[in-house]
Structure 1
Amino acid sequence: MSANSADRPALLDVVLVKAGREKIRYPAELLADDGTRVTVRAPWAGAGVRDFGFVRFEPGDVLTEHYWRDRWYSVKEVRTADGALKGHYCDVTRPAELSGTRLVVEDLDLDLWVGADGTDVRRLDEDEFAESGLAARDPRAAAAAVAALDELEALARGDGLGALLA
Structure 2
Amino acid sequence: MSARSVDVVLLKAGRTKIRYPAEVVSDDGTVLTVRAAWAGGGVRDFGFVRFEPGDVFTEHYRRDRWYSVKEVRAADGTLKGWYCDVTRPAEVRGGEVVVEDLDLDLWVSADRRLVLRLDEDEFAASGLAERDPEAAARAVRALDDLEALARGGGELR
- Where does residue 92 of structure 2 map in the other structure? 98
Once the two structures are superposed, what CA deviation does each residue of 1:10-49 show, in whole Å capped at 9, x if it has no partner?
Answer: 0000000001000000000000000000000000001111
Task: Quote the offset at 1:72 in angstroms.
Answer: 0.1
Q: How far apart, in 1, do the equivalents of 2:21 and 2:50 lie?
A: 21
Say which of 15, 38, 44 aligns to 1:21: 15
Task: Quote the offset at 1:81 in angstroms.
Answer: 0.5
2:86 is paired with a residue of what secondary structure? strand
Once the two structures are superposed, what CA deviation does each residue of 1:54-91 show, in whole Å capped at 9, x if it has no partner?
Answer: 00000100000001001000000000011000000000
- Where does residue 106 of structure 2 map in the other structure? 112
Task: Quote the offset at 1:159 in angstroms.
Answer: 2.0
- Where does residue 126 of structure 2 map in the other structure? 132
Say which of 45, 48, 67 aligns to 1:73: 67
- Where does residue 82 of structure 1 map in the other structure? 76
Q: How far apart, in 1, do the equivalents of 2:153 and 2:59 lie?
A: 20
- Where does residue 3 of structure 1 map in the other structure? none
- Mapped pair 1:146 → 2:101: no
Alignment TM-score, normalising by the size of structure 2: 0.97
Task: Quote the offset at 1:102 in angstroms.
Answer: 0.6
How do 1:26-37 residues align onto structure 2 when only pairs under 5 Å count? Answer: 26-37=20-31
**Uncovered stretches (5+) of structure 1, i.e. residues with no partner:** 1-5
Q: How far apart, in 2, do the equivalents of 1:112 and 1:24 lie?
A: 19
- Mapped pair 1:57 → 2:51: yes
Q: How far apart, in 2, do the equivalents of 1:60 and 1:133 lie?
A: 36
If you compute each CA radius of gyration, which structure gives the higher value, 1 or 2? 1
**Uncovered stretches (5+) of structure 2, i.e. residues with no partner:** none
Root-mean-square deviation (CA, aligned residues, Å) is 0.9
Identity %: 76
Q: Which runs of 4+ in 1 moved over 4 A?
A: none
Say which of 109, 129, 149 aligns to 1:155: 149
Say which of 100, 111, 121 aligns to 2:115: 121
- Where does residue 5 of structure 2 map in the other structure? 11
1:140 is paired with a residue of what secondary structure? helix
